[in-house]
Amino acid sequence: MLNTERPSQEHAGLDEYPVPKLVGTLIADQFQAVAAVQAAAGAIAAAVEAAVPRIAAGGRLIYVGAGTSGRLGVLDGVELHPTFSWPHERALSLLAGGKRAMFAAVEGAEDDVKQGFLDLAALLPQRDDVVLLLAASGSTPYVLGALDAARTSGALTIGIANNADAPLATRAELGITLDTGPEVISGSTRLKAGTSQKIVLNTISSAIMVRLNKVHGNLMVDMKATNAKLLRRAVALTMHATGADEPSARFVLEQCDHHVKVAIVVLLRQVPVARARELLAQAHGSVRSALLLQ
């Protein structure tokens, strides 16, 4: 039996716990997800190091999974656009069963190895693409099929599983094993196994974006201000980075389509918007470097 499927010996009377103890137990069990990710930090760092040059060369991030794992991949990819202005076409997701599986289980979809291969192949993967494949068991046929297609194309494959020596981790070019152990509700890998996968996806995609100069210091300066909340955030970030007052920050942001990076360079270098954009282009998007260019 897979470790993630093995009944937990710690809470056999879970259904009899009073609510405070039940809630405390469910929360406490999640800390094992963090510990599992910390133990895999070296493998995660290796994945980021390998992915950055390919993404910088124009590659895409492609997420593949089934059930909870697949939905977590969709979530990570979708959030890259508003957070880092990452192009939609460069963050793609494959979920066993297709889009309808985002909201309801599609019977048998995860067991179709051929469909996994075909779905990934249909994206015409290239060498610079980075394919993140997720499965708590590490042996989901749909995901393994997609892995085969990705490896055939030469794309970088990163397999993320929650069981030791899982085929997904051993057959991918880079494997990340998150040994979260048995679930407090036996077999429900939407719990700490899913939490650990979410942490890893957050870490990998965020680290890649930092390396691609989407962050200045620890500020989210390449965001898309697509609603009132994000417009307020753009103003606050600009003020924080430059020391400008709110009217000045708002005025400059309006001139540069609310692009925080550009506004920072305009305000700190005292240059026109067009020149700020030129400096950022020369600096490959790095605000820190753009501020030093002559």
Active site members: 79, 110
Answer yes or no: are the C-beta atoms of 4 and 187 closer than 8 Å: yes
Percentage helix, strand, coil for the chain under 3-state DSSP, each rounded to 5? 55, 10, 35
Q: Find tokens 């508003």 and name the residue.
A: 82
Q: Rounded to a whole number, what is the largest CA-CA distance in the chain? A: 70
Residues 6+ apart with CB under 8 A from 135: 65, 66, 69, 143, 160, 161, 166, 168
* 227 contact partners, CB below 8 Å, separation of at least 6: none
For residue 247, which phi and psi values (nearest 5 degrees)? -60, -40
User: Kindly report the CA angle at 248 between 245 and 249, in degrees rounded to 5?
Assistant: 80
CB 163 within 8 A of CB 135: no
Give the number of C-alpha atoms closer than 13 A to the C-alpha of residue 132, restricted to the C-beta side.
30
- Helix 192-211 × helix 67-84 angle, to 10°: 30
Q: How many residues does the chain have?
A: 294
Rounded Cα distance between 213 and 85, Å, is 12
Q: CA 162, 168, 171 angle in degrees (round to 5)?
A: 140
| Both structure tokens of 5 | 């499927």
Phi, psi of 95 (to 5 degrees): -125, 125
